[in-house]
Amino acid sequence: SIQPYLLTLTDWRIFMSEEAEALLHSSKETNKTLKTMLTFVNMFVISCVYFGCVNLVIDTLGEFKYFVAIFFDFASLTMPFVAISIYTNFTLEIVQVVGSLPFLMMIFFSTTFSPGSGVPGIKAL
């Protein structure tokens, strides 16, 4: 899971910003961009491993479109967390709350997780 790595991004941003200000030789924006790229490489590797494990069990999901679906399903819930933790000045608690909102909205407004609710259920209220 990439979650423990994501939780350290906010502390890394604070530490890196303080160090860059003290040393005056490193670019904060370059470091943030490199960290974002590293995070996406980690997400890609995890998606590759996940896709490989799925293909070991189920032979019918070997097409490239399934890999793209797996990667973007993973990235869609992880990207807000990465962006908020690296590119804002929020504390860890706010980053966790705001970064998990896409997942919470998916659960609250999806009929997959709670049959009979979702947007039509909310309209009925």
How confident is the model at residue 58, as a pLDDT? 84
C-alpha pair distances (Å), 66 with each of 6, 25, 91, 106, 119: 25, 44, 36, 21, 28
Tally Cβ neighbours within 10 Å of residue 85. Answer: 25
pTM over 0.95: no
Residues 68-87: pLDDT tens digits?
998 988 888 888 888 899 89
For residues 21, 26, 31, 32, the Cα torsion angle rounded to the nearest 10 degrees is 40
As a whole number, the mean pLDDT across the chain is 81
